[in-house]
Amino acid sequence: MNYEIILIILTVICFLSLIFVIFKNKYNFAIIKIEEAEDNLGIYLDKEKDLLERAIPVIKKELKYDDYLSELDSYDRNNMNLFQANKILSHSYNELMSTIDDNEKLLKSDTIKKILEELEDNDENRIGTIKFYNDSVVKFNKLIKSFPSNIVGFLCRYKKKDFYTDEDKEINEIINKDEEVEE
C-alpha cells in the first residue's frame, strides 16, 4: 500500500512537471517571437532615422532652413525604448511630410523622391513588424490570463506586456471577444 501511494505521488509530480515544462516552453516561444519583433523593429527604426537624416541637407538647402528636424538629435535607440524611439521618428516623419506638402518644389528633387520611396517601403515593413509584435504579445498575455499557464507565469514572475502603438484598444477588444467565446 505504501508503494501505491508513493507511485501515485510520483505520477502526480511527473504530470505537474510535464505541464509546467509545456507551458514554460509556450512562454519561451512567445518571448522569442517578441524579442525577434523588437530586434527587427529596431532595425527599421534605425533605417528610418538614417533616411530622415538624408533628407535634412536637401531640405535645408532648398528651403534655406538653418535648423530642421532637430528632434532627431535626441534619438538614441540604445538609451530609449522602442516606443519612445518610434514616437520621435513618427513626429519627424510627419514634419517632413508636412514640409513636402507645403513646398511642392521639393518633389522635383530626385533625392527626396528616392528617400520618400525608401521611407514608404521601410514604413510598410515597420508596420508589419509591429503587427507581428502585437500578435505575439496577445499570445503571451493570453498565457498569463488563462489557466493553468497563469500558474506557470506566476511562478516565473512574468508580467503582462504592453502593446505597441494605438492598437491597444483594438487588441484588447479581440482578447475580450476571444475570452467570451471560450467561456
Residue 174 has pLDDT above 90, yes or no: no
DSSP conformational letter for 156? T
In a domain, 16, yes or no: no
Q: Which pLDDT belongs to residue 168?
A: 46
In a domain, 100, yes or no: yes
In a domain, 103, yes or no: yes
In a domain, 92, yes or no: yes
In a domain, 70, yes or no: yes
Q: Which long-range contacts (CB under 8 A, 24 or more apart) does 151-155 make?
A: 152/19, 152/20, 152/23, 152/24, 152/27, 153/23, 153/27, 155/20
In a domain, 169, yes or no: yes
Q: Tell me what percent of the residues of the chain surpass a pLDDT of 90.
A: 40
| Host domain of residue 112 | 38-182
Percent helix, strand, coil in the chain, to 5, is: 85, 0, 15
Determine whether 123 is exposed, middle or buried from the number of CB atoms within 10 Å of its CB (0-12, 13-18, 19+): middle
Indicate the pTM of the whole model. Answer: 0.75
Residue 177 has pLDDT above 60, yes or no: no
In a domain, 30, yes or no: no
Question: Which grid coordinates belong to 120?
Answer: 514608404
The DSSP secondary structure of 126-144, one letter per residue, reads HHHHHHHHHHHHHHHHHHH
In a domain, 11, yes or no: no
One-letter amino acid at 155 equals: L
Domain count, the chain: 1
